[in-house]
Amino acid sequence: MSQNALRIGIAGVGTVGAALTRLLHSKSNLLAERCGRAMTITAFTARDKDKDRGCDLSNMTWFNDPVALAKSDEIDVFVELIGGDGDPAFASVMAALENGKHVVTANKALLAKHGVELALKAEENGVILNFEAAVAGGIPIIKTMREALTSNSVQRVYGIMNGTCNYMLTRMENEGLSYDECLKDAQELGYAEADPTFDVEGFDTAHKLAILTSLAFGTQISADDIYVEGISNITSDDIIAAKDLGYRIKLLGVAQRTASGIEQRVHPTMVALDSPLAQISGVTNAVAVEADIVGQLVMSGPGAGGDATASAVASDLCDIAKSKPGHQHAPALGKPAAHLEPYVKAQMQAHEGGYFIRMSVNDRAGAFASIASRMAEAGISLESIVQHKRPEELKKDNKDSQPVILITHETTEAAIRGALDKIHSDGHLAAPSQMIRMER
């Protein structure tokens, strides 16, 4: 080999860390040939030194403190797999950068909160900060946006970025299960945590979207400016109605450039059944990029899991192994962190795809006319009104309320919410209404 072996320290030897250890061992010869340099894990830190992780750690130095590992002269690269946006993840990554160590991390929460600060520190010290595994697991979306699309101006980036939510929505549709049934099953299979809030309420997707937004538009990361709505309010009725209308419900993260700034949003979305994203099922992720030169790119693959994430980490390590000492490294966020533009949040604008609104309307004279009037007062144009009933509801012949679906033309969310508040105040709704954006 042309250089000494790249010495790697791993902080966190859980599912991903163990998979990475096995990968680097089993593929050592192949990686050395492709990278022009051998790679070896020399040290690690974990909560339990002696736990059986299904990989051999016997020849590695153990540290009980991640920060001490990050500063150690035994490593050239610090791989952070601890998780969380605070310490010890932040302190150890910062220590590694300050001490001239390259860093590879899979931690989207850390990057969403401290990404710009960490990128600045990496550039100041002439080291690499790589994070392919932080967004969409095994899909190489970070490298694609940071390197392959450098000549393009991106207009929009969006996709399915959380496997837990996509798994649940897929099973709700395919098997007619309720949200609660799917969540329980996902927890038993290990797809969802005991406290699933981070996944199902959209925060995991938001962190990933914030990183992609910075790469796409050259802005500072601004996770706090993302509109976030999860899938916990999605019901079987919504799933069935969407399919009847030719749509499928997916949790999407969307970032796009507008005349007034950058719009970032995470929410359930109805996508046409024949669209590429509608075909993504189970725990699979997919990210689409719309740019001026290449048009639309869609990449799909495993969004999580030990092997997929380890593959992305290994790719980052290979880039570091190939880098030349003393040469300038590519900026972590696509351009020098000091040159990232301040994030400007877009003003409220009409959603071109319109909205799906499901109501349970009290069966009384004048109710439908009053609802249509409230929509008109808010400037909302209705494309269709459908009295939607499932077969079992027709058998019950429930005369107290009627399920009704409204499909709107282009309008704003604020206009719809204002109209729904008035309709509810008028006493026409037997239950809270459901509103879902439609992408066409």
> Would you put residue 159 in left (φ > 0), alpha (ψ -120 to 50) or beta?
left
CATH number of the domain that residue 176 is part of = 3.30.360.10
Instruction: Give the separation between CA 143 and CA 324, rounded to whole angstroms.
Output: 19
What is the predicted pLDDT for the residue at 352? Answer: 78
* Closest listed residue to residue 250, CA positions, set 351, 127, 166, 180: 166
Is residue 3 pLDDT above 90, yes or no?
no
Q: Are 272 and 170 in the same domain?
A: yes
Give me the catalytic one of 101, 121, 208, 250: 208
Instruction: Give the separation between CA 109 and CA 389, rounded to whole angstroms.
Output: 42
Mean pLDDT value of segment 7-35:
95
Mean pLDDT value of segment 175-188:
93
Confidence of residue 32 (pLDDT cuts 50, 70, 90): very high
CATH number of the domain that residue 383 is part of = 3.30.70.260
Q: Are 150 and 261 in the same domain?
A: yes
Range of the domain at 311: 6-135+306-336
Q: Are 50 and 198 in the same domain?
A: no
Does 184 qualify as catalytic in the annotation?
A: no
- Reported residue count of the chain is 440
* pLDDT tens string 291-345: 999 999 999 999 888 999 999 999 999 999 999 887 788 899 999 999 999 999 9
In a domain, 188, yes or no: yes
Burial class, 326, CB count within 10 angstroms (exposed 0-12 / middle 13-18 / buried 19+): exposed
* pLDDT tens string 154-176: 999 999 999 999 999 999 999 99
Phi, psi of 179 (to 5 degrees): -60, -45
Q: Are 64 and 180 in the same domain?
A: no
Instruction: Give the separation between CA 232 and CA 241, rounded to whole angstroms.
Output: 17
Mean pLDDT value of segment 372-388:
88
> How many domains does the structure of the chain reveal?
3
Q: Are 195 and 294 in the same domain?
A: yes
Q: Are 46 and 163 in the same domain?
A: no
In a domain, 77, yes or no: yes
CB 391 within 8 A of CB 350: no
Q: Are 280 and 191 in the same domain?
A: yes
Confidence of residue 428 (pLDDT cuts 50, 70, 90): confident
* Closest listed residue to residue 122, CA positions, set 132, 130, 133: 130
* pLDDT tens string 214-239: 999 999 999 999 999 999 999 999 99
